[in-house]
Structure 1
Amino acid sequence: MKLFTHKKAFYILWSGQSVSLLGSGLTRFALMVWAYQQNGSVTALVLLGFFASLSFMVCSPFAGVVVDRLPRKWIMFCADLASGLVTASLLLLSLHGELKFWHLYLAEGLSGAFDAFQSPAFFSSVSLLLPREEYARSNAMIGLAKSAVQVVAPALASLLLTVSGLHLVMSIDLLSLLPGLAAVLLVFLPRAERTQTGMAAAGNFWYEFRFGFRYIFAHPGLSGILLIFCGINLFAGFTYMSILSPMILTRTQGDQMALGTVQTVMGIGGILGGLVLTLWRSPRRKAALFTWSTLISFGVCDFLTAASRSVVSWSVAGFLSEFSIPFMVSPFYTLWQEHVPADVQGRVFS
C-alpha cells in the first residue's frame, strides 16, 4: 500500500537522510579534531580521507550491481544501519579509553564502503519518485542539505566538544540515525521498470559488473563529462576533503574555531547556491552551467585558498567555491538521471 505520493515520499526520504547526514558530520568533524589533538599530525588527517575515498572507489562497481538487483529501499536501510554500527563501535572504544588511530582508519574505510552502496541507491531513487522536470530541483535540495550540514556541524561539534566531549557527539550521531532509518521504512519506493537496455544488461554478476563501463564508453557525451567529474573528485579529495582542514589547523596552530569558521562560511555559500538553484528549478544549458561552475570553483577559488594566510581570505575563497558547486553537481546528476534508464542506474552511477 502506498502511504505517500511519490513526491511526498521523496521529501520524507530527503528529510530523514538530511538529519542523519548532520549526525555524521558532527562525528566526522569531532574525530578529526580529536585526531589532530592527539599528535598534531597532518598526515594522519589526510589518511582519514584517503581510506574513505579508496574504499568507496574499490567498492562502487560491485555496489552498482547490487543496487540494480535488489530493492534500493533496503540497500539504503542496510547501508545506513551499518554506518551507525561503525559509529557505535567507535563510541564504545572511546568510552573504554581504547580508541586508536587505526580504529579511525578502519572506520573511515568501512564508512566509504557503505557509502558506495548508499549513494547510488539514493540518487537513482530520484528518477523512481519524481518526474523528469523535478530532477534538477531534487538534486539541488540534496546539495542544499549537504551545505547546511557543513554550516551547522563544525560549529555545533566544536561547542559539544568544549562542553562535554567526544562521547556526546557520537551519541547524538547515533540518535540522528533513527529519523533516517524511519524515513526509509516509511516511504514506498517502486522498483524500476524493465527497459530494453536493462534486459540486454542482464546476466551473471561479472557480466553486469562490466555493463556499467560498457554503457558509459558507448556514450561519448556521458564518458566525457564523467572524466571531467572524476578529475574534479580527485582534486577535491586531495584539497577540500583531505588537505584544507589540516592546512588551516597547521597555519593557525590548531585553532579549531578558525577551522569551524571557515567551514561554516563555506557551508553558507553552498546553501545560498543551493537555494538559487532550487528556485531556478531546471536550467536548460546544463553542460555549459557545469563547465563554468567547475572553472570558478577549481580554477579560481582553489588558487585563492592555497595562496591565503588568513581566516578571512580562506572564508572568501571557500564561500565562492561552495556557492558554485551546486551549479556543478546538480546539472551533472540531472544529465545522468535523464539519459540513463532507471533499471541500470546503479551500475552506471557507480
Structure 2
Amino acid sequence: MQILEQKTPSHWLRIFIPIWVGQVFSLLGSGLVHFALVWWMTEKTGSAAVLASASLVGLLPQVFLSPFAGALVDRWNRRWVMVAADGLVALATVGLVVLFASGQVQLWHVYVALFIRSLGGAFHWPAMQASTSLMVPQQHLARIAGANQALNGLINIGAPPLGALLIATLPIFQVLAIDIVTAGLAILPLLFIAIPQPVRQDAHLAVTPKTVWADVRGGFRYVVSWPGIFTLLLMAAMVNFLLSPGSAFMPLLVTRHFNGGALQLAWMQSAWGVGAVAGGLLLSAWGGFRRKIITSMLSLMGIGVGVLITGAAPAWGYWIAWSGMLISGIMNPLTNGPLFALLQSKIEPHMQGRVFTLVNSLAQAMMPLGMMIGAPVAELLGLRAWYLFGGGMCLLMGFIGLTVRMINTLDDQQPGGKIIVAAAEPSIATD
C-alpha cells in the first residue's frame, strides 16, 4: 500500500487546535509536577543518587515498554488511548496530592508515581504523533512540528521559575493539584472530537500477548526493510548519544574551563532554550524547504557547528560558547521538526505508533549509554574533547544525509524505499 497523500478534513484546524491547546495545558502541568517533585526530593534527601534513580525510574517505561505501547496504539482507538493515558497520569497525581496533603508521602511513593506518569506518556506520545498525520494536511506537518518544538522550549524555560514561584507561595500538594486540572483540560476536547483512524485488515484479531508481540516484530521489520528510514533512525539515536553528555557536562565546562558560576551556567542553559523557541517559531512560520530531509540535514550540520563553537571557545571566550549554544538551540527544532513531519507523511498510518515508539526507545536508551561512555572519555581527554567530537560527528552525519541517495531521496520514497511513481490515499475512518 502506498502512502503519499493524507486524506485530511477540510476543517482540520477546528479539529486539531482544541486538541493541541489541551495538550499545551497538559504539558505545562507536567512541567510543574516535574519541578515540584525534583525540588522535594532535593530538599528531603540532598542525594544525587536519589535524583539519578528518579530519572532512571522515569526512563524505564520509555525504553523498554514503548515498543509494546506503540503496537497497542496501532490496534486501539487512538483518541481513547490519549484519554486513558491522560487519565492515568492524573490519577497518579491524585495519589500524590492525597499523600502530600496527609503528610504520609514516602520516597517510594514518588518513584511509583513517576513510573506511572512515564508509562502514560509512553502511550500518549505515539498516539498523538500518529493522530496528527491524519488530522493535519501534509503541507502543514512541518509547521505544526515547529510549533510543538517552540512550545516545548517555552515550557522548559517557563515551568521551572513558575514552579519555584508556586512552591514559595503554596503547599506542594496544591502545586501538584494544578496538574489534575490541566489533565482535565487535555481530556475534555478528546471527549467531543472524533479523530481519524487508519483501517487495518487484521483489526478483527483479538489483542493478545501473541498478536502484540507479532506487531512489535512487524514494526521492527517494517523499519529495517526501509533502508533510508532505518539509517535515519540510527542517525537520530547517534545524535542523542553524542549530545546528551554535553548537557550533563555543561556545569563542569562553565566552572572549570570558563571559571564561571551559577549565573554563567544559567545564561548558557537559557541560550539553548531561547534558541529552541526561536527555531521552532521560525519553522512554524516558514515550514522549511520543500524537501524536508534537506532542512533536517542542513540543520543537523548547524547543530554540529554550534557544538563545535561551544567546545572550541577559549577560556576567555565565554560569550563565544554562549553563541554556540544559541546556534545549537535554534537548529534543534529545525532538525527534529522536519524529521518528524517526514515520518508522519511517509510512514503508513497503521504503522506509525510502532515506528514512533521505536524512535523514542532508541533515543531514550542512548542517553544513559552516552553518559556511561562520555564521562570517562571526558575525564581522560578533557571536557572540551567530547564537544569537539560530538559537533564533528553531527557535521559528518548531516553531510552523509545530504549526499547518500537512500537518505536524500526520502521525500520521494514510498514504504520499502522505492521512489514514488503515483499517489494513493489511505483508507481512514472516524471513531
Q: TM-score, normalised by structure 1?
A: 0.84
Other-structure match for 2:164: 158
Residue 114 to residue 234, structure 1, CA distance change in 2 (3 Å): farther
Distance in 2, matches of 1:334 and 1:106, equals 34
Preserved contact between residue 195 and residue 343 of structure 1 (Cα < 8 Å): no
What percentage of residue pairs aligned between the two structures are identical?
Answer: 30
Distance in 1, matches of 2:85 and 2:244, equals 22
Give, in angstroms, the shift of residue 295 of structure 1.
Answer: 4.2
Is 1:349 the counterpart of 2:356? The answer is: yes
Report the AA paired with residue 71 of structure 1: N
Secondary structure in structure 1 of the residue aligned to 2:194: coil
Residue 237 to residue 23, structure 1, CA distance change in 2 (3 Å): farther
Picking from 222, 228, 231, the partner of 1:221 is 228
Secondary structure in structure 2 of the residue aligned to 1:191: strand
Unaligned runs of at least 5 residues, structure 1: none
Secondary structure in structure 1 of the residue aligned to 2:105: coil
Report the AA paired with residue 34 of structure 2: R
Give, in angstroms, the shift of residue 139 of structure 1.
Answer: 1.3
Other-structure match for 1:94: 100
Preserved contact between residue 309 and residue 321 of structure 2 (Cα < 8 Å): no
Other-structure match for 1:340: 347
Report the AA paired with residue 343 of structure 2: W
Secondary structure in structure 1 of the residue aligned to 2:16: helix
Other-structure match for 1:142: 148
Distance in 1, matches of 2:219 and 2:189, equals 29
Preserved contact between residue 152 and residue 264 of structure 1 (Cα < 8 Å): no
Give, in angstroms, the shift of residue 84 of structure 1.
Answer: 1.1
Report the AA paired with residue 58 of structure 1: F
CA RMSD, Structure 1 to Structure 2 (Å): 3.5
Report the AA paired with residue 39 of structure 1: T
Residue 335 to residue 174, structure 1, CA distance change in 2 (3 Å): same
Give, in angstroms, the shift of residue 152 of structure 1.
Answer: 1.6
Give, in angstroms, the shift of residue 175 of structure 1.
Answer: 1.4
Give, in angstroms, the shift of residue 206 of structure 1.
Answer: 2.3
Taking the TM superposition and a 5 Å limit, the aligned residue runs for 1:24-173 are: 24-173=30-179
Secondary structure in structure 1 of the residue aligned to 2:196: coil
1:284-336 Cα shifts (integer Å, max 9, x gaps) = 34334323433443664388389999998886555433222111111111121
Residue 212 to residue 303, structure 1, CA distance change in 2 (3 Å): farther
Is 1:273 the counterpart of 2:279? The answer is: yes
Give, in angstroms, the shift of residue 33 of structure 1.
Answer: 2.1
Distance in 2, matches of 1:12 and 1:245, equals 38
Give, in angstroms, the shift of residue 277 of structure 1.
Answer: 0.3
**Which has the larger displacement, 287-296 or 300-309?**
300-309
**Which has the larger displacement, 292-301 or 22-31?**
292-301
Q: TM-score, normalised by structure 2?
A: 0.69
Taking the TM superposition and a 5 Å limit, the aligned residue runs for 1:194-233 are: 194=200, 204-233=211-240
Distance in 1, matches of 2:78 and 2:271, equals 34
Give, in angstroms, the shift of residue 14 of structure 1.
Answer: 0.8
1:201-226 Cα shifts (integer Å, max 9, x gaps) = x9933221211100000001000110
Give the number of the structure whose alpha-carbon radius of gyration is greater. Answer: 2
Secondary structure in structure 1 of the residue aligned to 2:89: helix
Give, in angstroms, the shift of residue 72 of structure 1.
Answer: 0.3
Residue 131 to residue 321, structure 1, CA distance change in 2 (3 Å): same
Secondary structure in structure 2 of the residue aligned to 1:204: helix
1:72-100 Cα shifts (integer Å, max 9, x gaps) = 00001100110111122222222233333
